[in-house]
A and B are shown apart, each in its own frame.
Chain A
Amino acid sequence: MFDLINMNPMLVMILEVLLICVKVVVVSLILFMLPLPLTYMERKVAGHIQVRLGPFRTGPHGILQPFADMIKLMFKEDIVPAKADKWLFKIAPVIAMVPVFAVYATVPFGESITIPYINKEITMYISDMNVGILYVLAIAGISVYGIILGGWASNSKYALFGGLRSSAQMISYELALSFACVGVVMLSNSLSLVDIVKSQSNWRWNILYQPVGFFIFLIAGIAEINRIPFDMPEDEGTLGAGYHAEYSAMRFAFFMLTEYVAMVTISTLAVLLFFGGWDGPGFLPGIVWFVIKVVAFIYLFMWARFTYPRYRFDQLMTIGWKILLPLSLLNILITGLVII
């Protein structure tokens, strides 16, 4: 057993940097692998809701289906339309993908754990920014550029409409989403996600104090990640496939990855802001509770997807500007009055 404090400070610093690198790699790998279980889950949920079985033939209960899909996507031809803006077309999926990964730099996953024998405390986040929530909302918002540029560069009217709708939707709902978060920030007196979670410990979850805020957050979140009933940008009925209509192979896979990770981001944020993060009954470690809550939210999104029809675009705008925005402002006002 050796003590880290007595070691060479230079060495300690190198170890710290290494630790951060390891964390970044682990988080990115997990995020890259996420679409595999999520597509499987989505298809199974869809199947069972529609009284089908979902994928069943690849492996036991179709468990290998995501891998089959992955192999298929890898070997498909990467088509770039002749009149597309080639450079933008190629860069757009990456622009969409990078921000949703960058968000996880500040997302905490659980309480810090102490590694036995070397007494080193390892925090379950990459960095604890003092403006964490602001950073998450800002960076997640950048992701829509990828969608807009992808739609624009495709040189296809459907893709362009998908991109335009996505931008309009993002502008309308980002406001309500952020305002819904303000109530939580006022309650916990901090913008740091770690502090927000800590302020909710011992079952003082924000959902109990901010039900309206949570409700606005949930609806705006669904709109933000373009899922039914607000999946205007990829509305199959009117736009073919929306902004990724012209994409194929791995570039399409990047868009899919973006969407799934964005869904996880919104679920994670909902858990962190309103459901006490890793707070839960003591018999399981905090991170397990965290994962259970996030998966429950993902299930809710999938469940809603196969239950509701799609809203019309003008209805979408009406909900965003005329209902959610005033409601969220009112929520902030009331929260402020109660706190005083």
Chain B
Amino acid sequence: MKNNNSNINLKNLFKKVFFVDLVQGLIVTFGYTFSKTITLRYPDEEKWIPYKRFRGLHTLNRNKEGKELCVGCELCAKSCPTNCIKVVPAQDKTGKGIADRVAARWEINLLRCMFCGFCEDACPTEALKLGREYELASLSMQGQLRTKEELLAPQEIPVNFEGGVIVKARLGRDEDEVSVKPDLSVQKRWW
């Protein structure tokens, strides 16, 4: 027992005299110096593509024949906790929807929306889906109102793209818009 104690003391003395702990600390930081960075060079060179489950900007879908899936049932508007969705149903005989009832107007106020996804859950035809677009900043309040036509257009990231990766991107700037265009072919994960 006594021998053991003196052993420990000798060890501690050795550690103190030769600064073993300090050297170990230096080795740790030196290792990190040459490890891969976790920095995401976001607007300039890289962009994060979220997983499929991500709840971003809403998108209105069409079926395989290109007909609007939305039947203007207003369930999304009713289920919305913040009352940010406005649907005006209308009768339509031209066959642009899957039924003779379509949404004449479908508007969402993103300032009020909290991206809870209740509308998506309420939708009976799977017309409404929360997509993966998350760059929603705008220069005016008006820019936060999205209409049916805007939402019907397909989003930049395809629906079947797996996501959860960092892709190469390019920052595009012009007078009224700043956008980050992703290039889905070059993917990387830092972890």
Q: Do B44 and A52 touch (CB < 8 A)? A: no
Chain A residue, CB-CB nearest to B22: A308
Q: Select B32's contact among A48, A53, A304, beta carbons within 8 Å.
A: A48
Q: Select B29's contact among A49, A53, A56, beta carbons within 8 Å.
A: A49
Known: A57-B44, A307-B25, A308-B25. A50 touches B30 (CB 8 A): no
Q: Contacts of A52 on B, CB cut-off 8 Å?
A: 37-39
Interface presence of A306 (CB below 8 A): yes
Q: How far is the CA of A57 from the CA of B42 in the complex (A)?
A: 12
Q: How far is the CA of A47 from the CA of B36 in the complex (A)?
A: 11
Interface presence of A51 (CB below 8 A): yes
Q: Do A51 and B32 touch (CB < 8 A)? A: yes
Q: Do A48 and B37 touch (CB < 8 A)? A: yes
Q: Do A48 and B34 touch (CB < 8 A)? A: yes
Q: How far is the CA of A50 from the CA of B30 in the complex (A)?
A: 10
Q: Contacts of A51 on B, CB cut-off 8 Å?
A: 32, 35-39
Chain B residue, CB-CB nearest to A45: B33
Q: Residue-by-residue, is B1-41 near A (CB-CB < 8 Å gives 1, otherwise 0)? A: 00000000000000000000010011011101111111101
Q: How far is the CA of A48 from the CA of B39 in the complex (A)?
A: 10
Interface presence of A135 (CB below 8 A): no
Interface presence of A303 (CB below 8 A): yes
Q: Do B37 and A53 touch (CB < 8 A)? A: yes
Chain A residue, CB-CB nearest to B24: A307
Chain B residue, CB-CB nearest to A44: B33
B41 to chain A, nearest CB (A): 7
Q: Residue-by-residue, is A51-74 near B (CB-CB < 8 Å gives 1, otherwise 0)? A: 111001100000000000000000
Instruction: Give the contacts of B93-142 with A (CB-CB under 8 A).
Output: none
B69 to chain A, nearest CB (A): 44
Q: How far is the CA of A307 from the CA of B25 in the complex (A)?
A: 6
Q: Contacts of A303 on B, CB cut-off 8 Å?
A: 26, 29-30, 33
A-B contact list, 16 entries, CB within 8 Å:
A45-B33, A47-B37, A48-B32, A48-B33, A49-B29, A51-B32, A51-B35, A51-B38, A51-B39, A53-B41, A56-B39, A303-B30, A303-B33, A304-B26, A306-B29, A307-B26
Other A-B contacts than A45-B33, A49-B32, 8 sampled, CB-CB below 8 A, are: A48-B37, A49-B29, A51-B35, A53-B37, A57-B44, A307-B26, A307-B28, A307-B29
